[in-house]
Structure formats: structure tokens, C-alpha cells
Amino acid sequence: MNPSIFSSLDPVSAANLGSLAETGNSRFRQRKPGPAFARLSPHVLMSRRQAPAETNETHAGLMKNKALLLGTTGMLAAAARHAAMQAEEAVIVSRHADSFSFGDEALDAKCVSLPFSYEDEPALLAALESHAPFSLALTWIRPRAELLRAALDALVAPGGTLIEVMGSRSILAGPNGEPSIASIRADALAHQPDIAYAQVVLGFVRENGASRWLTHEEISAAAIAQMEMPLPRRIAGTLEPWDARPQ
């Protein structure tokens, strides 16, 4: 892998993201609502912040190390493998999750497959309820889906890490100057200082005067880099010049 194709962009102050909070034993966190999170219904908020004590899974007196891998069975499969190897349990969410395999019997044994689409938000969140909280969440969600993203935020444990992989257009402002989804998410997570928030924005590669999209290997490498050394925003490849994007 050529490390020169990966660059980082840090438009969000590290102070805004805050330091990680110590991991507690409560299943969901009490948080100061961010802009998108505040629009969730009271029922959704309470269902994600509270859970019966008997369903709180522990390991050696501490919260179980779980990874949420949403939309990661394709181009992010290598990154999902890396995350699953570090976790005690990995929850894999995709339309065809029940047929997905890492090709490793021991690794597959600690994975839970949830064959849901993120387009069916109520069913997806209900299915995730019994598996939360997660110490790591790696997500690839194509639409803006602000409310779904906000609900997923609440499923990350204190001291955990949320990594969102986004397309290149996620940094573009709206036609009337509305903030980009990447900026909206960065601002919302600045209100949740008890987790580390990291974005991966997918760009392209310039080679020999031509442009190409990133390979799956390059995309996963950027996501793995965020797991190992989270930055507020990491650009995989480049976004400039914008007009040079592959057609």
C-alpha cells in the first residue's frame, strides 16, 4: 500500500471532540443531545438510554468489547475483519449478512449476523437493541439519514469509537448553502465528548495524469487507520481538483 495516497484533513477542533470518558457499566449513556439527536422522539431516546439491568452483558465485571459493523461486507470487508479480530463479539449488519463469511471459522464464530437494510430504520434499531452498547462502530451509510445516524450514536459505549465512512459528496454544501452532512455530523458529535468520532471521506487517486476511484484495499486501509489512530476527518486519496474526479 502506498501511504502517500492517504492524507488527513482536520477541520474540527480536537477540543470540540473532547477527551474520551472512562467506560462505565451502564448500558446506554446519558448525553447532552446534539442538533440531530434532539429531533428523535422521546420514546426512541429513552429506549436507547435505558435498558433492564438483567440484559447488560458483562465480561470480568466490565462491559463486553463489541463491534458494530454496518454496511461493511463489501468494500470495507478487510476493515470489518480487522475490527472483528479485536472484538469479543462483532455484529454485522447488511442485507445479505446471513450469507457473509470472513472465511475463518474462529472469527465467524464470534460474529452475529443481522440481515437488515438501514432503509428500514425501526427494524434495524430494534434488532440492535439487545446487542448494544458497542465499543466500536464502523458504518457505511450512503444517504444523509441524520436521524438514523443520531440513533446509532447512542448505541456507542462511553469511551468507544464511532467511525463513519462517507462518499466524496458528503463534504459538499447544499444548493442553498446548507451545511454538508460531514459538517453536520462533526458538529453533532462535538456534543458527545464521551466517544471518539472519526470520519473517512472517500476521494480518488491521480496517477499518470489520469484519475481512478479507490480500490477496496485502499478504502479499508483508511478505515483501519482511523481505528488505530482516529482523526476527526481522514481523506482517503484526494478530493482535489474536484473536476478531476473519475466519470
Q: Distance from CA of residue 141 to its chain's centroid? A: 9
Q: Which is more confident, 204 or 13?
A: 204
**Cell numbers found for residue 31:** 448525553
pLDDT-derived band at 63, boundaries 50, 70, 90: low
- Measured distance CA(87)–CA(223) in Å, rounded: 16
Torsion sign across C-alpha atoms 123, 124, 129, 130: positive
Helix, strand or coil, per DSSP, at residue 239: coil
User: In this prediction, what percent of the chain has a pLDDT beyond 70?
Assistant: 74
Residue 60's pLDDT is 39
Tens digit of pLDDT for each residue in 161-175? 999 999 999 999 988
- Measured distance CA(152)–CA(137) in Å, rounded: 9
pLDDT-derived band at 142, boundaries 50, 70, 90: confident
Exposed, middle or buried: residue 68 (CB in 10 Å: 0-12, 13-18, 19+)?
A: buried
**What is the CATH classification number for the domain harbouring 142?**
3.40.50
**Cell numbers found for residue 168:** 466524496
Helix, strand or coil, per DSSP, at residue 56: coil
Residue 41's pLDDT is 40
Residue 201's pLDDT is 97
Residue 105 has pLDDT above 60, yes or no: yes
> What would the mean pLDDT of 16-22 be, rounded to a whole number?
29
Q: Which domain holds residue 170?
A: 3-54+61-244
Average pLDDT taken over every residue of the chain: 80
Residue 52's pLDDT is 37
pLDDT-derived band at 120, boundaries 50, 70, 90: confident
Tens digit of pLDDT for each residue in 90-99? 999 999 999 9
Residue 126's pLDDT is 93
Tens digit of pLDDT for each residue in 178-213? 999 999 999 999 888 899 999 999 999 999 989 999
Q: Which is more confident, 196 or 53?
A: 196
Q: How many domains does the chain have?
A: 1
Q: Distance from CA of residue 131 to its chain's centroid? A: 16
Lowest mean pLDDT among 29-43, 95-109, 230-244: 29-43
Residue 62's pLDDT is 53
> What would the mean pLDDT of 119-128 be, rounded to a whole number?
91
Q: Which is more confident, 24 or 105?
A: 105
129-152 b/e (C-beta count within 10 Å ≥ 16 → b): eebbbbbbbbbbbeeebbebbbbb
Residue 42 has pLDDT above 50, yes or no: no
Q: Which residue has the cell 455484529?
A: 91
